[in-house]
Structure 1
Amino acid sequence: MLYLESVFIGALRIIGFCLIIFVVKTIVSAKKQSQFGFDYLIPRLVTFLSVIIITGFLLTQLNAYDSFVLLTIIWVFMLLIFLNLNKKSPLKTQLKIIKTRSLIYIVKTIENRQPLINFKKIKKKRAALQTSKNPKQKLSTTHIYWQIGIGFFMGILGFFSRLYFYRFDRYALSDIWYKDLSRMKYLSDQVWFFHSGSMTGEFLLINLYGTLTGLSDSIALESFGLIEVAILALVIFWFCYRSFNRSFFPALSSSLFFIFFYMFLPINIDLSTMHKSVFLALIIGLPAILFIHSPKILKGKISTYFRWMIYIFTATFLINLFVAIYVLFPIVLLSFLLRYKDVYIRKSFYAYSISAVFIFLMHYIASIVLGQDFLNFIASNIYAYNTYTYAPQLAVPIDQLLLIYGYLACSLTALVLPFAVKNIKKWSLILILLIQLDLLLLAAIYKVDFIDLDLLNQALTVFIPIMAGIFFYFINLFFETIMKPKREFIAVKLLLSLSIIGMVLFSLYDDTIAKIPFRKEVKNEQVLAAYDKIENDLLPYSYGVVNDEQTKVISMGNHFFLTYNYFFSEYLNQDLEYFKNKENLIYLRNNPDIIPPKSILVFDYKDRENSIQIEKALQTLKQRGRNIRIFYKNSLVSVYEIINEPKQSHVRELLF
């Protein structure tokens, strides 16, 4: 992978950004922490993502969207959360106290020669963890360390497992890729509504990811799918861990199933590295499902819970309508019907209803203002016209595989029912998950017309591993009932899970890979690598690029673009006229169109007929005395740089 360095840099910078947030929170926050591990991290991740998406949506409606403006607002929002200001006290007095406290903290750590973040102090919080009212919920520091370690390990495995599939990638520079890139670019033009095929929330986060990490839009779009899978693997682990009575084995099994068992999942193998709004929506949606049944994870009063659930559901709608309607709504409705007496579940149902009304009303008003067909837009976002399911890697045909999962889901549902009848509060979440999975699998098996099968398969790629987690949860309960262990052997279970996964992969790997009849487009990879080098090395709008008309979207908002036809027919004349009158400032002022960019980068594809024309044009320019050098060279793609103004385009040359 030629642009692997940029992909890793993006991931590392995101981690660095999270560490900065942690440092800021430690310094300015005076609030005692009552949640630890992922019980603290994931709810805040979900709420922050929700606020980012909703804020971005509102900014575009005010024609004020800019990624830096959005980042500033998010920083202010996080600071306000960390400061935990009291509405009843004067703001000036509180800020003065916070300033004094932060300065004292920093000075003391420097005087004592201690690190700003002292991880040894975490051990002192063990006593706080043991104050839980329910003895079954007491957690040791070691348990939390295991939770954090395994969770992050799942995220790393998820990242590298999908990185491997770049060898089969067909997404880069495909028609879908160009369409998605244009969606990202349109955000800068304050365009949010009515892009058929998907909602805009995911593209907002990709745009922000590129800005935050310093990646070009092209690489951010190409690599964001890795970030989604890494976070989703972590979220699946935590979701199952909390849903299955804080048991590590089923949570581990579920996350590992999602990461590695692609031969048993209806995943589109040639687009496995592509970003998926279904996955991003479930990164928010799965914790939302857990918040419905375990509302105490979202700290605060009922009114605070209600407000946050509105934000979370609204963000899910803005990311993917399919997940919001076909995945979340049945779960919210079933929860309401089974436990309508629970005030938190009623609040979550009302929150979902308010979010749905808000989203549909906003889009209906926009359809009237912009003259768009509202129903066609909704239909285009429930059906995936630009995606398909192609899974040659499956161990068994997809129809048989879905049928097997259908039988297993029905069997597990029948197994859970007696427990749920006896204790609905304890078993309602697992029962509802299984009922929802039954419905999704039935829709997939019988190919229901009003549900898009490709989007449904993406959702099943997440819910089938959760079903595997439920299956292993019952196995775990069975052995615990028989053996009655005094403590949980976490290391043994981790080793056992990895061993099982390793044996299955070892036995099926060769057959699975042999079934995949394609590999990545090498030329597309080289083109992306060339653009990555161009955008990293050169100053925006100091250069122009000569390439196919289709690649014009890459140039939007970044540099000038010239087609091959213009370069062959017009540019040579423009070059001659400019250098003839270069010293005549009055002429240039009156004829600004003849002034070329400081540098011109010409893409030369070795398998194209116009390669000879490019060589002739470059030879003509060399004869005129132009400085031409090879900027990028690979087996199928070369990029030549025509230097019109030396040391005016390259960032390094301008700085040093």
Structure 2
Amino acid sequence: MILFLFYMNRKFISYSKSVNYFDFIAKQWFKYGSLIVLLIFGLIQLGIYNLLNVVAILVGVIFIDYFGIKKIPQSINIISQKVKRNIFELIRNIELKKPISFFVSTRSNPEERNKRLWYLFLLSTLGVVAFYSRYIFYQFDMFSLSGSWISDLERIIDFDSQHWFTNGIAPVGELAIINFYGKFVSVSPEVALQSMGILEAVLLSILLFWVINKISYSKIIAPLAAGLFYSVSYTIMPVNITYILQHQALFLAISFALPAMVIYLKPGIMHSNNTNCFINYILVFTAIGLIDIFTLIVLMLPFLLIGLITSSVKSKMMNLTVIGAYAIALIVLFIIYGTASNHFGDDFELFLHSSLMSVSAYTYFSHLIVSYEQLMIYYQYLSYIAMICCLLFMIFKNEKWNAALCFLLYFNFLVVLSEINHNWIDTDLVKLSLGVFIPVLLGISVAVVIRVAYFIYAKIEVVKPVFAVFLIAGVLYSAIHYQGKEYKKLHKTDNIPRDIINVYEKITASYYPFSYAVVNDYTTQSISINKHFFIHYTDFTENYLKRDSIYSKNKKNKKFLKKNPEYVLPKSVLVFIYKKGDDKNNRIIVNCEITPLILSKLETLKKRGRKISVFYESDLIKVFEIENNPGQSKTDDLIF
């Protein structure tokens, strides 16, 4: 989807500008990603949140952003002229019998097109590596269908009921994004929740490439190293492997913070005036605050102050403007959360304190090659060497390493902060954030090494792509070879939660909403919200046969059914049967002792002439379908 938007942008809008994929993703995420968070929040407060409204307003904003407010009256005429010009060029090129490749390709010279294809290869590689490096941990996943997973799912679904704050005040912007993401790509909320952790990893690996690309003189090798280190280097990174697939509001907030940090140090990257930049920063800081207060206050504020000291003289005024935008965003968030706290009767100070802490975040780094403390010492020594080199380049070579120096200082600040024992600082969250900024340190260090060896590096310009391919292969081989032992130590979890999610996704795609019911354990009831009716096993075994008998006798008696709606049965009923009993790793209650009783009820229904078939079957789960009104529940049957 992103690549398609980039193609349309290059083909019809910004074909005269030199923009690569990483620039496009980082800048648009900075501008419009934060806007989406605010649009969802605002529309929910108005009670009109849905996919169509968000997309319509977003398209309107993009339209205004492209033309500018002053040119809106002339926009129709401008579009008309462009359409006419493109049609004229199309007809002319058809008459000239241009090849199909000419019409498909974008307007750029061959050298730029080849460069863009090279960046596409790097983008695809980083995306695939980051995705697969997380996907392989699904067999060890402890998050799916856990208590935290169920709680998050309920909140995600609750956005459809136009509720932002439920069960207390908390930053839930990440869950709002998950809700929107599920709607936008047309997947169920549970699948969106299940995959969000992987998507955050992919997004961060791409943004880390972009960060090093912008703050150093290395445009490929060092950025590639940073992205790959983040994706596959588990034994030298403070990450929780057991819960590596769990989505983290911290990581989504950092995905907004990284572009904000780079643009703060290098304002010219956005190619926009001060007013637009000021507005963009207000939006992004407010969005970060709605996602994660910890990132906004504990991570962003120190960076802004360090950046103010280390940035170039030309950037000082813009830095102060950004700090002003930060202050305004804080005021806006104070009003939002303060009003909500007053409305729900919560204590604002308690909310602020709880928002700076995370119950679900913990740090257990048994997989590291050395202790966490020792590893941080090594990284600090590396950062000191890199800082000295940056200063030497700045003093003696008059080169601009200010941004890299700022990130190095900031890294050391985070290391010190992670050792402070204070009840307002969650050191676990600080350590998890280091898992993102350590690759920045490593990327800068590689860039410094390349700069030191520039007299050799400049002479091998032609073999840079080859070296990049060898770097990818080398990092991946090292990750597999040297981390294999730690990978084998992990304990596989049961596949029932993943199987359940797959079945529910298939059910949602196959049946019309609220035309059917699902018989299952209470643990899975949250998945049924806003989709279908839910029947617990106990209710099914005790009452279903009686309801079936009464319903079948009075099926055509509408007056009776209106007076006694409790006897009305859904058009289809899907009954889950679990083939595997409980074990210590299960996150749902699987009572196989009840299976014979359920099967006997199904046999009774068959004898009564009810149509019963197997809807789904695997090694772990079997789902039967009871058709009370054949052909009246599945979407395909209703359409065709």
What is the letter of the counterpart of residue 519 of structure 1? K
Q: 2:187 aligns with which of 201, 209, 215?
A: 215
User: Could you say which residue in structure 2 is the equivalent of 1:184?
Assistant: 156
Q: Report if the CA contact (8 A) 1:547-1:602 is conserved.
A: yes
Query: Given that residues 38 and 287 in structure 2 are in contact (C-alpha distance below 8 angstroms), is that contact kept between their aligned partners in structure 1?
Result: yes
The whole-number CA distance in structure 2 between the counterparts of 1:552 and 1:107 is 59
Correspondence 1:365-376 to 2 at 5 A:
365-376=339-350
3-state secondary structure, aligned to 1:641: strand
Structure 2 equivalent of residue 383 of structure 1 = 357
- Name 2:240's counterpart in structure 1: 268
Deviation at 1:536, TM superposition (A): 1.5
Once the 2 structures are TM-superposed, how far is the Cα of residue 601 of structure 1 from its aligned partner?
0.9
> Shift of the alpha carbon at 1:237?
0.7
Q: Is the 8 A contact 2:420 2:427 kept in 1?
A: no
Whether the aligned pair in 1 keeps the contact of 2:171 and 2:290 (CA below 8 Å) is: yes
Q: Which residue of 1 aligns with 2:224?
A: 252
Which sits farther off after the overlay, 493-502 or 231-240? 493-502
**Matched ranges for 1:31-180 at <5 A:** 32-82=16-66, 86-87=70-71, 89-98=73-82, 100-101=84-85, 104=88, 118=103, 120-124=105-109, 142-180=114-152
Q: In the alignment, residue 204 of structure 1 is paired with which amino acid?
A: A
1:336 to 294, 298, 308: 308
1:529 aligned residue: 502
Deviation of residue 510 (structure 1)?
2.7
- What is aligned with 2:635? 651
More divergent stretch after superposition (50-59 vs 621-630)? 621-630
- 8 Å contact 2:450–2:457 — kept in the other structure? no
- 2:556 is aligned with 1:572: no
Alpha-carbon spacing, 1:425–1:184, altered in 2? closer, same or farther (3 Å): farther
Does the aligned pair in 1 maintain the 2:11–2:106 contact within 8 Å? Answer: no
Aligned with 2:612: secondary structure?
strand
Q: Tell me by how many angstroms 1:83 deviates.
A: 5.1
Moved more, 218-227 or 381-390: 381-390
Q: Secondary structure at the match of 2:459?
A: coil
Please report the RMSD computed on the Cα atoms of aligned residues, expressed in angstroms: 2.7
1:438-477 to 2 correspondences below 5 Å? 438-477=412-451
The structure-2 alpha-carbon separation of the partners of 1:125 and 1:65, relative to structure 1 and needing over 3 Å to count, comes to: farther
Match for 1:492: what amino acid?
Answer: V
Is 1:636 the counterpart of 2:620? The answer is yes
Mapped to 2, the partners of 1:36 and 1:561 lie a distance apart of 49
- Tell whether 2:416 aligns with 1:431: no
C-alpha distance in 1, partners of 2:28/2:101? 22
Q: Is 1:197–1:384's contact at 8 Å kept on the other side of the alignment?
A: no
- Structure 2 CA distance for aligned equivalents of residues 454 and 248 of structure 1: 32
Task: Show the 5 A alignment for 1:592-603.
Answer: 592-603=565-576
Counterpart selection for 2:601 from 609, 613, 617: 617
Mark the CA change 1:106 to 1:77 in structure 2 (over 3 Å): closer, same or farther. farther
Q: Is the 8 A contact 2:215 2:401 kept in 1?
A: no
Answer yes or no: is the 8 Å Cα contact 1:85–1:94 preserved in 2: no
2: CA distance, partners of 1:547 / 1:439? 50
How far residue 370 of structure 1 moved from its aligned partner, in angstroms, is 2.4
| Distance of 1:42 and 1:105 partners within structure 2 | 33
Structure 1 unmatched runs, 5+: 1-13, 127-139
Q: Classify the secondary structure of the residue corresponding to 2:613.
A: strand
Query: 2:374 corresponds to which residue?
Result: 400
Q: Deviations over 1:271-297 (max 9, x none)?
A: 212222222122221111111121122
Please list the CA deviations of residues 319-360 of structure 1 after superposition, one character each: whole Å capped at 9, or x if unmatched: 222222222211111222444762221211111121122112
- Report how far residue 528 of structure 1 moved: 1.4
TM-score normalised by the chain length of structure 1 = 0.88
State, as a whole percentage, how many aligned pairs show the same letter: 29
After TM superposition, the score normalised by the length of structure 2 is 0.90
> Are the equivalent residues in 2 in contact too, given 1:25–1:82 (CA < 8 A)?
no
Matched positions, count:
626
User: 2: CA distance between counterparts of 1:62 and 1:446?
Assistant: 42
Deviates more, 1:323-332 or 1:108-117: 108-117
Query: Within 1, Cα distance between the matches of 2:185 and 2:114?
Result: 33
Matches within 5 A, 1:1-40: 14-15=1-2, 18-19=3-4, 21-22=5-6, 25=9, 29=13, 32-40=16-24
Secondary structure at the counterpart of residue 646 of structure 1: coil
Determine the structure 2 residue equivalent to 1:323.
295
> For the residues of structure 1 that align with 2:619 and 2:272, how far apart are their CA atoms?
59
**Does structure 2 retain, via aligned residues, the 8 Å contact 1:216–1:532?**
yes
Match of 2:520 in 1: 547
